[in-house]
Amino acid sequence: GAGLGDHIDRKEGQEHTFQNADPTRRQLNQSFAVTEHCSKPLHTAISDRIAEGYTGTTAIRKDAVRALSLVFTGTHEDMKAIEVDPEKMEGWLKANYQFVAQEFGKENVVRLALHLDEKTPHLHAVVVPLVEGKLTAKKLLGNRKDMSARQDRYAKAMEPFGLSRGVRGSKAVHNSEGWYLGQQQQAQEAVLSDLPKLTALDRINPTRYEEKVQERFKSVSREKTDTAIELKRRTDQVRHAQASQHKAEQEAARHKEATQAIAAQLLQAGKAGITLDSSYALLKAPEAIREAANTLFQAEVRKLAEAQLRPAAELYYRGIYQLEDSSKATREDYERHQQHDSQETRSHIAEEITKIFNQEIQKRWGVALSQEASLYKELRKKAADLVRELARTILQELRKALGLEEPRQQRKSRGLGR
């Protein structure tokens, strides 16, 4: 459990276990102290829980399963929609906690952690498979039917949050596409090759035999449908990738033409003794040159946004609410923030931030973006994401400054749901 613990706990010095995490969002992660073991290193927590709860008379096998690692999440789009709504996210966390406690036993939980610093929000849980004093993952998990039923129960618990169950009985695993489709084909052939034999009893009552055969063919039909759906999805992915590659090749060809055109223009200008300035490049140059200039311009704007949009957004946001230093905030500051913070207000602030940034663009390059331009809309969305994150961060700072929310270390000892 040491490596898994390093990943879940984001242990310093073990960054190779969470390379996909964004360090600037790490403070958004949360850990919940469901039991006293949750504050210990994971491998120690697992051992201590076993020592505490194991009442068997025989020694534990060396290859025994000592812990189960669980991940609770949904599609990227659905989970992001939940994340932006604090009330919905809080409800989703509690529903998951209650599900883990009910299915695996609250006393067996040695880790419960929310990760918001990776692409898709998700909840990690690690449980020790102790059942009636015995260490038995097999009994706790059950057979394939039991695990499918657990997925059904989880889907029911997630319905209030707009999440629905995946394909029941799907053969999908995290593996290569060819392997996946091959497994589907093998499953169909296995069903067909294992048709029930016609017994003497079936000869007397052929209806019974017919029902068994029909059930087998229904199973094959379901497998075939799953395969067709998956094959179409993957075919669409390949087609989309090919289209993207073709588009990239076309853009590369245009950029090459633009470079050659620029070289020819410079050569001719040098012969004629003409000095090329920015107005000449924008108004007189061929279309290819303007396209190349536009591509370079957009790249520079995005680079500037990466460097300056976040600090500019925070400066503007704090200035609006007069919260330059959250640690010195008063109750009036908190109530003012709570009164005015809304989706409409955030949208207005994001729009103003984008306009201010657009003015900086005009100051640097002599041209402003149209509000209908795709790059403007891209910057507007980035500003909205920053404002949403700022609202959440500053609210946490205000609550902490006013003693309305315990520091994270104290919150661990209280645990979720107590």
Residue 176 is predicted with a pLDDT of: 44
In whole angstroms, give the CA distance from residue 201 to residue 209.
9
Question: Cα angle vertex 170, ends 164, 172, to 5°?
Answer: 105
Residue 71 has φ and ψ, to the nearest 5°, of: -130, 130
How far are the Cα atoms of 257, 272, 294, 399 from residue 264, in angstroms, in the given order?
A: 10, 12, 19, 64
User: What is the structure's pLDDT at 254?
Assistant: 77
Classify the phi-psi angles of 366: left when phi > 0, otherwise alpha if psi is within -120 to 50, otherwise beta. Answer: left
- Is residue 93's pLDDT more than 80? yes
- Does residue 251 or residue 390 have the better pLDDT? 390
Distance between CA 338 and CA 75 in Å, rounded? 31
Residue 106 scores a pLDDT above 90: yes
**pLDDT interval class at 242 (50, 70, 90):** confident
- Residues 164-187: what's their mean pLDDT? 56
Q: Tokens 């998956």 — which residue?
A: 230
Q: Judge residue 236's burial from the number of C-beta atoms within 10 Å of its C-beta, 0-12 exposed, 13-18 middle, 19 or more buried.
A: exposed
Q: pLDDT tens digit string along 269-313?
A: 555 554 555 555 545 555 556 666 777 788 889 999 999 999 989
What's the whole-number average pLDDT of the chain? 80
Cβ-based neighbour number of residue 278 at 10 Å: 10
Backbone conformation region of residue 133, classed left if phi is above 0, alpha if psi is from -120 to 50, else beta: left
Q: What mean pLDDT do residues 89-107 have?
A: 94
- Spatial separation of the C-alpha atoms in residues 97 and 112, rounded to whole Å: 8
pLDDT of residue 248: 80
User: HEC profile for 215-267?
Assistant: HHHHHHHHHHHHHHHHHHHHHHHHHHHHHHHHHHHHHHHHHHHHHHHHHHHHH
Question: pLDDT-derived band of residue 413, with 50, 70 and 90 as boundaries?
Answer: very low
Q: How confident is the model at residue 375 (pLDDT cuts 50, 70, 90)?
A: very high
The pLDDT value recorded for residue 76 is: 86
Res. 208: pLDDT tops 90: no
SS3 content of the chain, % helix, strand, coil (to 5): 70, 5, 25
Of the candidates 4, 32, 111, 123, the one whose C-alpha atom is nearest the C-alpha of residue 72 is 123
Categorize the per-residue pLDDT at 140 as very low, low, confident or very high, splitting at 50, 70 and 90.
Answer: confident
Q: What is the per-residue pLDDT for 175?
A: 45
Amino acid letter, 146: D
Give this prediction's pTM: 0.43
**Burial letters for 202-221: b for 16+ Cβ neighbours within 10 Å, e otherwise?**
beeeeeebeeeeeeeeeeee
Q: Is pLDDT at 378 greater than 90 in this prediction? A: yes
3-state DSSP assignment of residue 329: coil
Task: Tell me the pLDDT tens digit for each residue of 58-70.
Answer: 888 888 899 999 9
Q: What is the DSSP string of 339-373?
A: HH-SHHHHHHHHHHHHHHHHHHHHHHHS-PPPTTS
Handedness of CA 363, 364, 369, 371 (dihedral sign): negative
Encoding tokens for residue 335?
């109530």
Domain ranges of the chain: 1-161, 182-195+205-242, 287-402
Give the DSSP H/E element, type plus range, for residue 127.
strand 122-127
- Name the class of domain 1-161: alpha beta
